A and B are shown apart, each in its own frame.
Chain A
Amino acid sequence: MKKIKIAVATIATGVLALTGCGSTSGGSDSGDGETININAFSVMEAANEPVIEDFQGTDAGADTTFETSYGASGDQSRGVADGNAASVVHYSLETDVTRLVDAGLVAEDWKDNATNGIATSSVVVFVVRKGNPEGIEGWDDLIEPGVEIITPNPGSSGSARWNILAAWAHIVGAGGTEDDAKGFLTSLLGNTIALPGSGREATTAFTDGSGDVLLSYENEAILAKQSGADIDYVVPDDTLLIENPAAATTDAGEAGQAFLEFLTSPEAQADYAQSGFRPVVDGVEIEDVEGANDPADPFPAPGTLYTIDDTFNGWAEAADKFFGDGEEGNPLGIITELQQSTGKVGDE
Chain B
Amino acid sequence: MSSALSGATIDAARPAPPEGRRPRRARRTTPRNTLGRGAGLGLGIAMVWFSILVLLPLSAVVAAAAEGGWGNYLDVLRNDQTWAAVTLTVGQAALVTVINIVVGTVIAWVLVRDRFWGKSLLDVIIDVPFALPTIVAGLVLLSLYGPNSPMGVHWAFTPNAVTLALAFVTLPFIVRTVQPVLEELETDVEEAAASLGAGRLTIFRRILLPSLTPAIAAGAALSFARAISEYGSLVLLSGNKPFETEVVSVRVLTFIENGSNASAAALASIMLFVALVVIVALDLVQRRVARRW
Interface residues of A (CB under 8 A from B): 74, 78, 99, 153, 155-158, 192-197, 201, 204-205, 208-210, 323-328, 330, 339-340, 342-344, 346-347
In-complex Cβ contact of B81 among A158, A194, A201, A340 (8 A): A340
Inter-chain CA distance A342–B244, complex, in Å, is 11
B243 touches A (CB below 8 Å): yes
The one of A78, A330, A344 that contacts B243, using a Cβ cutoff of 8 Å:
A344
Name which of B72, B242, B253 has the most chain A CB atoms within 10 A of its CB: B242
Contacts of B236 in A (CB 8 A): 196-197, 201, 204-205
Verify A343–B242 contact, CB threshold 8 A. yes
Is the beta-carbon distance between A327 and B235 smaller than 8 angstroms? no
Which residues from B are CB-within-8-Å of A195?
239-241
Nearest-neighbour CB distance to chain A for B288, whole angstroms, equals 38
| Cβ contact of B142, chosen from A153, A205, A330, A339, cutoff 8 A | A205
The answer for the CA separation of A314 and B266 in the assembled complex, in Å, is: 31
Q: Complex: how many Å from CA A327 to CA B254?
A: 11
* Interface segment, one of B11-19, B89-97, B195-203, B256-264: B256-264
Cα of A78 to Cα of B255 in the assembled complex, Å:
13
Contact across chains for A346 and B256 when beta carbons are under 8 A apart: no
Q: Are A153 and B260 interface neighbours, CB within 8 A?
A: no
Say whether B148 contacts A209, CB under 8 Å: yes
Given contacts A327-B255, A340-B81, contact A197 B235 (CB under 8 A): yes
Interface residue from B139, B156, B257, B260 paired with A74 (Cβ < 8 Å): B257
Of A208, A325, A343, the contact of B241 (CB 8 Å cutoff): A343
Q: Given A325-B263, A343-B244, answer yes or no on A153-B250 (Cβ-Cβ < 8 Å).
A: yes
Residues from chain B with a CB closer than 8 A to the CB of A155 are 240, 250-251, 253-254, 257-258
Provide the B266-292 mask, 1 if CB < 8 A to any CB of A, else 0.
000000000000000000000000000
Chain B residues whose C-beta falls within 8 Å of the C-beta of A347 in the assembled complex: 84, 243-244
- Residue pair B260, A330 in contact (C-beta under 8 Å): yes
CB distance from B250 to the nearest CB of A (A): 6
Task: Please indicate which of the listed interface residues A156, A201, A204 has the most CB atoms of chain B within 10 Å of its own CB.
Answer: A156
Give every chain B residue within 8 A of A328 (Cβ-Cβ).
68, 72, 260, 262-263
- Say yes or no: A339-B147 contact (C-beta < 8 A), given A155-B257, A204-B236, A325-B263: no
B80 at the interface (CB under 8 A from A): yes
* B157 CB within 8 Å of chain A: yes
Determine if B76 is an interface residue (Cβ-Cβ < 8 Å).
Answer: yes
Contact B250 A156 (CB under 8 A): yes
What's the Cα separation between A340 and B246 when bound, in Å?
Answer: 12
* Number of chain B interface residues as a range: 35 or more
- Complex Cα spacing A204 to B80, Å: 30
* Cβ of B172 under 8 Å from chain A: no
A sample of 8 more A-B contacts (CB under 8 A), given A327-B75, A328-B262, is A156-B240, A158-B257, A194-B241, A196-B239, A209-B147, A330-B258, A340-B242, A347-B243
Q: Is the CB of A192 within 8 A of B241?
A: yes
Q: Mark B120-150, 1 if CB is under 8 A from A, else 0.
A: 0000000000000000000100110011100
When distances are taken between beta carbons in the complex, the residues of chain A under 8 Å from B239 are 193-196, 205
Contacts A194-B240, A327-B260 given: A343-B235 contact, CB under 8 Å?
A: no
Task: Assess whether B33 is interfacial by the CB under 8 Å rule.
Answer: no
Q: Indicate if B34 sits at the interface (CB-CB under 8 A).
A: no
Complex interface: chain B residues within 8 A of A210 (CB): 142, 146-147, 156-157
Contact B254 A325 (CB under 8 A): yes
Contact A208 B258 (CB under 8 A): no
Do A197 and B240 touch (CB < 8 A)? yes
B1-20 vs A: 1/0 string, CB under 8 Å?
00000000000000000000
Q: Which of B7-44 contact A (CB under 8 A)?
A: none
Q: How far is the CA of A195 from the CA of B241 in the complex (A)?
A: 6
- In the complex, the answer to whether B76 meets A327 with C-beta atoms within 8 Å is yes
Which residues from 222 to 236 on chain B have a C-beta closer than 8 Å to any C-beta of chain A?
235-236
Q: Mark B51-78, 1 if CB is under 8 A from A, else 0.
A: 0000000000000000010001001100
A267 to B249 alpha-carbon distance, docked (Å)? 42
- Of chain B, the residue at the smallest CB distance from A198 is B235
- Residue contact B240 to A346, C-beta cutoff 8 Å: no
Contact present for A326 and B79 (CB under 8 Å): yes
Closest Cβ of chain B to A137, distance in Å, is: 23
Tell me whether A327 and B263 are in contact (CB under 8 A).
Answer: yes
**Cα distance, A170 to B76, chains bound together (Å):** 33
Say whether, besides A210-B147, A343-B84, A204 and B139 are in contact (CB < 8 Å).
yes
Which residues of chain B have C-beta atoms less than 8 A from A205's C-beta?
Answer: 142, 146, 156, 236, 239
Contacts of A196 in B (CB 8 A): 235-236, 239-240
Measured between beta carbons, the chain B residues less than 8 angstroms from A192 are: 241
CB distance from A268 to the nearest CB of B (A): 29
Neighbouring A residues of B242 by C-beta, 8 Å:
339-340, 342-343
Is A325 in contact with B258, judged by CB distance below 8 angstroms?
yes
Q: Which residues of B contact A209 (CB under 8 A)?
A: 146-148
Whole-angstrom distance between the Cβ of B27 and the nearest chain A Cβ:
49
Chain B residues, CB < 8 A from A327: 75-76, 79, 255, 258, 260, 262-263
Q: What are 21 contact pairs spanning A and B, CB under 8 A?
A: A74-B257, A78-B256, A155-B258, A157-B257, A193-B239, A194-B239, A195-B240, A197-B235, A197-B253, A205-B142, A205-B236, A208-B142, A208-B146, A210-B147, A327-B263, A328-B72, A328-B262, A330-B259, A339-B242, A343-B244, A344-B80
